[in-house]
Amino acid sequence: MFERKITRFGCRPADLKSWVFLWRAIVGEFVGTFILVYAGLGSILAGQEILYVAISWSLTISVLISVFGKISMALFNPIITMVFWLLKDITLFQALLSVIAQLLGSVTAASLHLVLWPLGDFHLREDSVSTTAEERNPYYLGCNFVGGDIKRGLISELVTSFVLVFLLLSLTHRSPDDELEHPQHLIVAMAIGGTVMAMTLIGGPITGASLNPARSFGPALVANYWSGHWVFWVGPTIGALLGFFGWYGFVRGSYINMEGEKSQIYK
C-alpha cells in the first residue's frame, strides 16, 4: 500500500548521525508535549472560560509546530504518531519512542501543575458533567471526563479526532506520492491550530476535548482519576484511523487524478 522509503530517522547501527537525529526528535517530542500540556492545562486550572482555553491550546500548538516541525515532525500526540507511522514518515522504533516521550512529557507537565494546584479532599463526582469550580476540585478540572454518558463522550472524541487527522493530513501531505511537507510553515501551523481550537470549542463541554491520549494520560495519572479514561484512547484512535482512510481515499486520490490529468495535457 505504501512503498515510499523512510528517508529521515531510519537509524542504522553504524550510522551515528541518524541516531543523533532520532534522539533529537525524541527529546523534541518530550519538550514539545510538556509545553503543550503545561500551557493548555494551566489555562484550564486557572479557571478560564472555554474560549480562552481553546485559544491557549491552539496558539501553543501553532507555535510548537513552527518550532519543532523539522526537529521531530511536531507530533505531540500518539494518534498523530500512529498515522505518520502508517504513512512511513517515521519508523516503528521512532513511533514507539515518541509515544513514550509524549506520555512522559504530559506526566511531567501535570506533576508540575500539581505543585501549583494541590489536590484537595474533594473528588470529581462520577455523575458530574459540570466544569464549574464550585462542583469540582480545581486540579480535577484538568482531567478529561465523560460524566455519566460514555457513549456521548466516545462519539465526541471519535468525531473531533477524525476531523483533526483528516485536515492535518490534508495540510501536511499534499502531493500524490505522500511526501511529507514539513508543517513548520506559519500558515499550515496556524491552520492546524485553528482546527484544534474549533474542536476544543465543540468537544470541550462534553469531555474536555482531549483529541490526544497523552494529554489525558498525564493529568489522570497524577490525579489518580481513571473514570472512563479508556474513552480518551479508543475514541481518538478510531477517529484517527477513519480520518486517515478518509484522507487516503478522498484527498490523496484527488491529487493523483490531478497529476494524471496534467501528465495527459503536457504529453
pLDDT at residue 20, as a whole number: 81
Helix axes 92-116, 16-45, angle to 10 degrees: 30
Over residues 180-190, mean pLDDT: 69
pTM of the model: 0.81
pLDDT at residue 129, as a whole number: 46
In terms of residues, how long is the chain? 267
The residue ranges of every structural domain in the chain are 16-265
pLDDT score of 114 more than 90? no
Q: Specify the fold of 16-265.
A: Glycerol uptake facilitator protein (1.20.1080)
Contact by Cβ (8 Å): 76, 33: yes
Contact by Cβ (8 Å): 7, 15: no
HSE, side-chain direction, 13 A CA sphere, residue 114: 15
pLDDT at residue 199, as a whole number: 95
pLDDT tens string 141-158: 678 888 668 999 999 999
Q: Comparing 125 with 206, which gets the higher pLDDT?
A: 206
Q: Comparing 202 with 114, which gets the higher pLDDT?
A: 202
pLDDT tens string 20-45: 888 999 999 999 999 999 999 988 88
E-assigned strand segments in the chain = none
The rounded distance, in Å, linking the Cα atoms of 204 and 225 is 18
